[in-house]
Amino acid sequence: MKEKDRSNLGMTRQSFLKATALLPFAALGTGQATATPQGNTAPGTRMTSPKLRIVSAHFQLNVTAGQGLQTELMHMPSGLTLANGDYSYSFGQPVFTAGSPTQEGSTTLLDLLGDTGNGIEIRQQFRVSQDKPWVEEEITLTNRTHHPIALPDARCGLVLPIKVTGDSVESPLKDFKFTAAPYRREPTGNRTQFADYTLLQVLTESRHSELRAQRNIQRFDKVYLSNVYAMGFINTDYPQYASEGWVITDGRRGFLVTKYSQEGMEWALLDRVSLGDERLGLRWGGFGVFQGDPESAAVLAPQSSHRFGVTRITAFEGGMNEGFYTYRAEMEARGMGCPQGFNPPVHWNELYDNKLWWLPDSGMDKPENRKKYYTLDDLKEAAGKARDIGCEALYLDPGWDTLFASKIWDEPRLGKLQDFTALLHREYGLKLSLHTPLSGWCDPSSYARDIDRMNRDGSRVEMSLCGSSRQYVAETLSRLSALAHDGAAFFMFDGTMTFGECWDPHHGHPVPSRREDHVKATNGLAFQVHSQYPEVLIEMHDQVLGGTSLRYVPTYYGYGKRLFDAATAPTHGFDTVWGFELMWSPMKDLVGGHSMALYYYNLAYSLPLYLHIDLRKDNPQCLMFWWNASTCRHLGIGGTHPDPAVRKSQKEAMAAYRRLETFFKQGTFYGLGEMVHVHVHPTEPSAVMNVFNLQSQPATQHIEFTPAQVGLAGSKDYKVIGATSSRRGDLFSLDVVVPALGHSLVELR
């Protein structure tokens, strides 16, 4: 978000700096750590070793190890210095044993071991790639004492000294923009909200963000909100700038800073330290405990270690888009991308036409209403709608199970599940997909009461399931497995939110349980289902805040293929990420700006999004349909529009989508602006372009691009369908007529 001085905070830049420039030192047992202030070591007391140097064609890293580290990081092609001087530690100044660089294939490693003198041992590793433009850092802390060490505000990082005078900065980075990836636009934002910051803002202002906290959550009741408030997920202003990645660019060249870990929730942090003499240090890299995460580092257990995630800085040529693509390529290289051949079935969600769901006063879950409004005949009618518009699966939202979110098929009311899935396939050509909420949003009465969370005093939090208990996981896995065995092809993991700690010593989790335990148990359910039924698709809501437009957990966290617990072979976690609850008013979300988050997500991730939308809210131009088809690799639709002409347009749009679905499901996404989306075929030299107009008047979009900008070979000829086009050398010029509040489809063959 573009920040200005925030008068409502009652802070000047000077008072903000005094309050936040040096984060609080970590508590060590019952006392406080002391750390040597940066740059103030007494003469003659600093122990140093010879300068160690790692060099590639892209970066040069100089390190002098001794009492602390002196570091200098330079980008060789541009000559820019990205760090210079004392490395910053908030938990004590380590004394390092000098190491020496070693070669690991195409990577040069510098491995350093240090001791802070207060019971903390630090292992700090730097890696420079010899053939790729990146440098990495990884840190492990070990508690050598026999008591816990609290590090609630622990932070360390490389420092770039910068002179700040009033509202001006003296730095080669002063014209660079710092942009959050992937959430440059937040799902709770609007048409003017951008997570773009100047260097001066990062150095002197707090960051306002509503990505993980918003005061006007609409969907859930007061009990849900009170839990969100109690857990502290209500902050919207932060001294640290936290994101999964930061794209830093002046439009011609740039650097991507990322943090990656599957062992604890972490974010790439930018903040500042005071260096005196009107100088501030831009601090980046290293690690930081952000709002209590990662929890196993916020309190370091006795005689234990925590390995923080890898920080990587990658140089790239170009502007913001190229930085986002660099992020996407990095995540794909880590296995965090769209699987080859990804082909999810297009869903018809019967919820929007479902009389049961829209009953007042929580009538949805009353048995008599389920018998009246959710029958086998109702499901057959919905299946007919799905078939007629061209969908591939019938998605059943609340109503199909015995109690809300019991995940037990209501056989007395609907017949055997195997018979129903066979009927869908035989008579309608459809698969079956199911809404399967977890512990955070369900009727708990279908579970045993010993699964309820326990207070510290041993009393139960009645009807509040402990989602990280082994009893809950085992029972839920049994129910999901039964559904998969009988033909279910998709599970939606809604209801993933956590409602706080649990002190039950018989639940098999640490006492008390933490957010991390809940998140890993939730992710673990996906792994365990896939170990038995690898072809079942699983969608995952945010594993802390669940079915809201918020995003707490790093998007990739729990995704990918790997060994899980005692599994004998690698399996994979969830398949798709929930589209930020943009399902209820999708036209309003698009025109109002919330859905812009989907565009930037696709620039930064090929990890598939899933969303279903209400076709009753669409217009004759099918604007809403095409936006979500363009940004969600797994698409769900539903709702019967009252206007037959609109229904006809939607059916035609669906036919065009199905003809081109390989581009949308498996292709590579490129952006030529928020209103121009390009999807390149995964194996053929062809692309489709979605061009949008959110204005109330028709418009002609003039679009210029080179094939290389959208991942196509410039040496080939392309036939353009759906636009007036010309080509001059490598430059294509298109004029696309787009209706008011409409969409136009262009094909490049």
More confident residue, 554 or 227: 554
Q: For residue 155, give the nearest of 12, 11, 17, 20 by alpha carbon.
A: 20
Exposure string over 440-456, b if 16+ CB within 10 A, otherwise e: bbbebebbeeebbbbee
In the chain, % of residues over pLDDT 90: 84
* 745 close to 723: Cβ distance less than 8 angstroms: no
Q: For position 48, what pLDDT does the model report?
A: 58
Enumerate the β-bridge partners of residue 312. Answer: 136, 258
Does residue 215 register a pLDDT over 70? Answer: no
> Which residue spans within 290-415 are E strands per DSSP?
299-300, 305-307, 310-317, 347-349, 393-396
Q: What is the mean pLDDT of residues 329-352?
A: 97
Tens of pLDDT along 289-300?
999 999 999 999
- pLDDT band, residue 234 (cuts 50/70/90): low
Count Cα atoms within 13 angstroms, Cβ side, for 41. 20
Kindly report the backbone phi and psi dihedral angles of residue 284, in degrees, each rounded to the nearest multiple of 5, phi listed first.
Answer: -150, 170
What local confidence, expressed as pLDDT, does residue 97 receive?
Answer: 84
Band the pLDDT of 5: cuts 50, 70, 90.
Answer: very low
Between 121-135, 206-220, 505-519, the lowest mean confidence (pLDDT) is in 206-220
Third-level CATH fold of 667-748? Immunoglobulin-like (2.60.40)
The pLDDT of residue 686: 97
- The residue among 217, 187, 74 whose CA lies nearest residue 578 is 187
SS3 43: coil
Residue 439 CA, distance from chain mean position: 21
Instruction: Please state, in angstroms and rounded to a whole number, the distance separating the CA atoms of residues 529 and 543.
Output: 17
Strands 347-349 and 634-638: parallel
Which regions of 224-354 does DSSP assign to beta strands (E)? 237-238, 241-243, 245-249, 253-260, 268-276, 279-288, 299-300, 305-307, 310-317, 347-349
Angstrom distance (rounded) from CA 576 to CA 343: 12
Cβ count near 689 (within 10 Å) = 27
What is the Cα–Cα distance from 499 to 466, expressed in whole angstroms? 8
**Mean pLDDT on 43-53:** 65
Contact present, 213 and 229 (Cβ < 8 Å): no
| Mean of pLDDT values over 403-428 | 97
Indicate if the pLDDT at residue 651 is higher than 80.
yes
The pLDDT, as a whole number, for residue 35 is: 31
Name the burial class of residue 716, with classes exposed (0-12), middle (13-18) and buried (19+) by CB atoms within 10 angstroms of its CB: exposed
Q: Measured on CA atoms in the order 673, 675, 681, 685, is the torsion positive or negative? A: negative
Reply yes or no on whether the pLDDT at 221 is more than 60.
Answer: no
Q: What is the CA radius of gyration of the chain?
A: 27
Q: Residue 114: what pLDDT? A: 95
Indicate the CATH number of 347-353+379-581+605-612 among 3.30.300.30, 3.90.25.10, 3.40.50.300, 3.20.20.70. Answer: 3.20.20.70
**Average pLDDT, integer, range 692-716:** 95
Q: Would the pLDDT of 542 be above 60? A: yes
Mean pLDDT computed over 48-65: 91
Question: Residue 250: what pLDDT?
Answer: 98
Residue intervals of the chain classified under CATH 3.20.20.70 are 347-353+379-581+605-612
Tokens 């036919």 found at = 655
Q: Which two tokens stand for residue 355?
A: 């009389």
Burial of 737 from C-beta contacts in 10 A (0-12 / 13-18 / 19+) = middle
**Which helix (H) or strand (E) is 454 found in, with range?**
strand 452-454
Q: What is the mean pLDDT of residues 428-438?
A: 98
Whole-number Å distance between alpha carbons of 291 and 269: 12
- Residue 523, pLDDT > 90, answer yes
Task: Identify the CA nearest to 517 among candidates 502, 527, 504, 538.
Answer: 502
The pLDDT value recorded for residue 34 is 29
pLDDT band (50, 70, 90) for residue 81:
very high
Residue 11 to residues 18, 131, 270, 287: CA-CA distances in angstroms? Answer: 10, 47, 20, 27
Q: Return the beta strands (E) in 289-430 as ranges.
A: 299-300, 305-307, 310-317, 347-349, 393-396
The pLDDT of residue 231 is 53
pLDDT at 228: 52
Band (pLDDT 50/70/90 cuts) for residue 367 is: confident
CA pair distance 493, 405, nearest whole angstrom = 10
Average pLDDT of the chain is 91
The structure tokens 């508590």 sit at 27
> Comparing C-alpha atoms, which of 425, 429, 419, 354 is closest to residue 391?
429
- Asked if pLDDT for residue 32 goes beyond 90, the answer is no
Give ∠ CA 334-335-341 in degrees, rounded to 5.
150
Q: Where in the chain is the domain with CATH 2.70.98?
A: 7-333
In the chain, list all ranges with CATH 2.60.40.1180.
667-748
Q: At what angle do helices 376-389 and 644-659 cross, to 10 degrees?
A: 70
In this prediction, what percent of the chain has a pLDDT beyond 70? Answer: 90
Residue 696: pLDDT band (50, 70, 90) is: very high
Answer yes or no: are the C-beta atoms of 349 and 391 closer than 8 Å.
Answer: no
CATH 1.10.1740 fits 7-333, yes or no: no
pLDDT confidence tier of residue 684, bands split at 50, 70 and 90:
very high
Token reading at 191: 């048409």
Listed range (87-91, 137-141, 275-279) with the worst mean pLDDT: 275-279
String of DSSP letters for 311-331: EEEEEEESSHHHHHHHHHHHH
- Model confidence at 8: pLDDT above 90: no
Of the candidate ranges 20-24, 99-103, 168-172, 263-267, the one whose mean pLDDT is the lowest: 20-24
* C-beta neighbour count of 413 within 10 angstroms: 16
710 within 8 A of 673, measured Cβ to Cβ: no
Lowest mean pLDDT of 250-254, 353-357, 740-744, name the range.
Answer: 353-357
Element (H or E) spanning 624, and its range? helix 623-631
**pLDDT at residue 385, as a whole number:** 98
> Does the reported pTM lie above 0.75?
yes
**Which pLDDT tens digit goes with each residue over 489-503?**
999 999 999 989 999
What pLDDT shows up at residue 47? 53
Average pLDDT over residues 511-535: 96
The tens digit of pLDDT for each residue in 654-681 reads 999 999 999 999 999 999 999 999 999 9
